[in-house]
Structure 1
Amino acid sequence: MELVIYLILTWFIASYFLFQKKPLLMIENLLLFLFFLFVNKCVLTMISMNLSLIMYNKEPYLFICFWLQRNIIFPLILLIYVNSVFQKSRGLQVMGGVFTMIVILLSEAMAIHFSIIHYHMWTFFISFVVTAIYLVAALGITAFYRRLLIKEGMVSNGNGTNTNHKL
């Protein structure tokens, strides 16, 4: 049952991302997804394997749930967040960040409830802090990457001075 829930959740989040209005270009979304995936895999590997602060279940179907959450759900939630608040006011960014943080922490609570992960010398508060760092870093990396693309002339900066160029 857990695997079915995670597959449905993954399908829902991927569908939402697919049909979401995206101010970021496809190449930006792709590279940001890969970056978020890389960072998330490195951090979770360090936390779970090297430091043994979070233990994941070795059952094959539960490990697939862990894999879906780590490799697909979490990076897509970050992409949905940066696409929804990238060009909006600070207040909407904060509200979107709070909502995104709630969704991420609820998915982690669901993983704990289904015994997909177990805390060992780790708390939900630490997960909250790590999630907040992820969200701030996601906005910072997105803004930095957008600035690089504007500097290279690949995207416009919003005032119409640069136009998109073919590669």
Structure 2
Amino acid sequence: MELVIYLIFTWFIATYFFFQKKRLLFIENLMLFLFFLFINKCILTMISMNLSLITYSKEPHLFICFWLQRNIIFPLILLIFVNGVFTRSLGIKVIAGVFTVIFTLLTEAMAIHFSIIEYHMWSFFISFVMASCYLVLALGISAFYRRLLAREGMVSS
């Protein structure tokens, strides 16, 4: 049942991202997705394997759910956030950031409820701080990458 829920959840998020009005170019979205994926994999690997603060289930169907959350859901949530707030006012960015953090924490709570992940010396507050750092990093990297593309003449600034 958990795998079906995660597959449907992944499908809804991917569909929303596909039909979302994107302010960034395809190459920007692709590079940002790969960057978010890389950063998320590195941090979660460090937290789960090296520091043992979070453990994930070794059952195949639950591990696939963890994989979907780590490799598809979370990077797409960040891309939806970046595309939704890019070049908008600070107030819109803050409100969208709060909703994105809440949504990210709800997906993590769902993973805990289904026993996909388990906390060891970890808390929702630390997850809140990590999700907030991800959002700030996502905005910073997207703005930096846009400047690089503008410098190369691929986009107008």
TM-score range with shorter-chain normalisation? over 0.9
| Matched position secondary structure for 1:118 | strand
| Matched position secondary structure for 2:55 | strand
* Amino acid in the other structure paired with 1:110: M
Determine the structure 2 residue equivalent to 1:160: none
The within-5 A match list for 1:17-96 is: 17-96=17-96
| Matched position secondary structure for 1:55 | strand
How far the C-alpha of 1:16 sits from its partner, in A, is: 0.2
How far the C-alpha of 1:87 sits from its partner, in A, is: 1.1
How far the C-alpha of 1:58 sits from its partner, in A, is: 0.3
| Matched position secondary structure for 1:115 | coil
How far the C-alpha of 1:156 sits from its partner, in A, is: 1.0
Q: Normalized against structure 2, the TM-score is what? A: 0.99
Unaligned runs of 5+ in 2: none
Task: Give the Cα–Cα distance (whole angstroms) in 1 for the partners of residues 147 and 93 of structure 2.
Answer: 18
How far the C-alpha of 1:86 sits from its partner, in A, is: 0.5
Determine the structure 2 residue equivalent to 1:2: 2
Task: Give the Cα–Cα distance (whole angstroms) in 2 for the partners of residues 96 and 124 of structure 1.
Answer: 19
Task: Give the Cα–Cα distance (whole angstroms) in 2 for the partners of residues 85 and 23 of structure 1.
Answer: 9
How far the C-alpha of 1:110 sits from its partner, in A, is: 0.2
Task: Give the Cα–Cα distance (whole angstroms) in 1 for the partners of residues 4 and 148 of structure 2.
Answer: 41
How far the C-alpha of 1:34 sits from its partner, in A, is: 0.1
How far the C-alpha of 1:152 sits from its partner, in A, is: 0.9
In terms of Rg, which structure is larger? Answer: 1
Q: Which has the higher contact order (CA 8 A, sep 6+)?
A: 2
| Matched position secondary structure for 1:24 | coil
Task: Give the Cα–Cα distance (whole angstroms) in 1 for the partners of residues 42 and 2 of structure 2.
Answer: 25
How far the C-alpha of 1:130 sits from its partner, in A, is: 0.4
4+ aligned runs moved over 6 Å, structure 1 = none
CA RMSD of aligned residues (A): 0.4
Determine the structure 2 residue equivalent to 1:153: 153
Task: Give the Cα–Cα distance (whole angstroms) in 1 for the partners of residues 107 and 91 of structure 2.
Answer: 24
Task: Give the Cα–Cα distance (whole angstroms) in 1 for the partners of residues 116 and 80 of structure 2.
Answer: 24
Determine the structure 1 residue equivalent to 2:117: 117
Q: Which has the higher helix share?
A: 2
Task: Give the Cα–Cα distance (whole angstroms) in 2 for the partners of residues 57 and 124 of structure 1.
Answer: 19
Task: Give the Cα–Cα distance (whole angstroms) in 1 for the partners of residues 24 and 52 of structure 2.
Answer: 37
How far the C-alpha of 1:39 sits from its partner, in A, is: 0.1
| Matched position secondary structure for 2:112 | helix
The count of aligned residue pairs is 157
Determine the structure 2 residue equivalent to 1:163: none
